[in-house]
Every structure is written in structure tokens, then in C-alpha cells.
Amino acid sequence: MDAIALIGPAWICVLALCAVLGDAFLPFLPSGTLVILAVLRTSQVAGAPVFLGLGVALASFLGDLLLLQLARRGAPSVNRRLAGKPELAASVERVQRSLSGRTNRAAAAMVIIARFVPAGRTVLDLAVGHSPDHSLSFLRWSALSAVVWAGYIVTLGWLNSHWFNTAWLSLAVSCTAATAISTAVAQVIRRHRRRAAA
């Protein structure tokens, strides 16, 4: 952890918040890993996990809001991305159909679950951005899902920082657990989709 120690906790927190904000646009950013790392670097500071969790929730919600507005306004960069990736466009259409046939409670659950699926947040934001009927309700669900995900990822890092004496081990266990949970959620969604198609 010596190399990482050269970077102050404040800078790691800034990097983590920027990654959370940006992974709505670039889902390959390691936002979860950076948040866990920020938690580990600040876990001994009184109140730091709470403030970090609030910052993560806010950054997550703002990322959704920005991508939603870009999609709604038909930003050329968004349209090019959809045109260049047929699989992404197909996923967006599938999510649009799913949202239109759900109750408010079911749609809210779908938005929360999307936070835990790789690239799920991006697909959902684009789908809602191209569906004018759902924008206002989506903002409420997005705020709720941002709080749920922030609480989950910060708590995961905080618990592991207190269970293990080694920072590297805490980071490895936290990231492995987060990856395993995301993979399990994605598999459940795929299985449900296959059953629905059948």
C-alpha cells in the first residue's frame, strides 16, 4: 500500500466521486473499486464513511441526470454511440418495453437492480432518456437507487476495513464480494429474461 499512500485520502475520494459520476457514461470505470479504496483510506477518520457515502450517492444521481438530459436532447455523441453499438441499442429498446409494462413499484425495483449490473445504469439512463413518459418518476427512483448503492458499497468497504488487518486484503475481499454480487444479479436477470422469452 506504499505506492497508494503517496496519494492523499482526499485525492482518492475525489477520484472515486469522479469515477462514480462518469461511469454512467463510461461503465468500464472502476468506480466501485475506487470507492472501496477511498473508504479504506479514510476509515479511521471520524464520520468519513458517512460523508463519503453521501458524496457517492450525490455523484451517482448527478451522473444519471446528466446522461438522461443528453439522451433526451438527442446529443450527437449519444446517438453515435447507439448507432455504433447495435447490442446497446437493442438493450435500450428492451428496457423501454420493460418499463412501459411495469407498475411504479416494479419499475423502482428495476432501477435499483440496474445499479448492481455492469453497464445496467448506462442502458437504463439511455432508455429513460428516449422515453418521455418515465422521466419524472425515474428521477425519484434514481435518487433512491443511488442511496442504496452508495450505502452498500461504502458499508462493504468499511466492514472489511475492520475485519482484516491488511489494507490489501480488505481491498481484495471487498472488490471480490462486489464483483460476485454484480455477477449473481446479472445471471438472475439473464435467467429471468430467458424464461420470459420461452
pLDDT at 3 over 60: no
Report for 2-6, 102-106, 158-162, 181-185: range of highest mean pLDDT: 158-162
Kindly report the average pLDDT of the chain as a whole number.
78
Report residue 26's pLDDT band, with 50, 70 and 90 as the boundaries: confident
Percent of the chain residues past pLDDT 90, beyond the cut: 17
State the pLDDT at residue 1. Answer: 44
* Residue 182 CB contacts under 8 Å (≥ 6 apart), including other chains: 116, 117, 118
Predicted TM-score (pTM) of the model is 0.78
State the pLDDT at residue 149. Answer: 92
Residue 21 and residue 17: Cα distance in Å, rounded?
6
Instruction: Take residue 172 and report the three cell numbers written for it.
Output: 481484495
Q: Domain boundaries in the chain?
A: 2-197
Name the residue type at position 135. Answer: S
Give φ, ψ of 117 to 5 degrees.
-105, 130
Q: Is the dihedral of CA 138, 139, 141, 142 positive or negative?
A: positive
pLDDT in tens, 138-155: 888 899 999 999 998 898
Burial track 144-173 (b if 16+ CB lie within 10 A, e otherwise): bbbbbbbebbbebbbbbbeebeebeebbeb
Percent of the chain residues past pLDDT 70, beyond the cut: 71
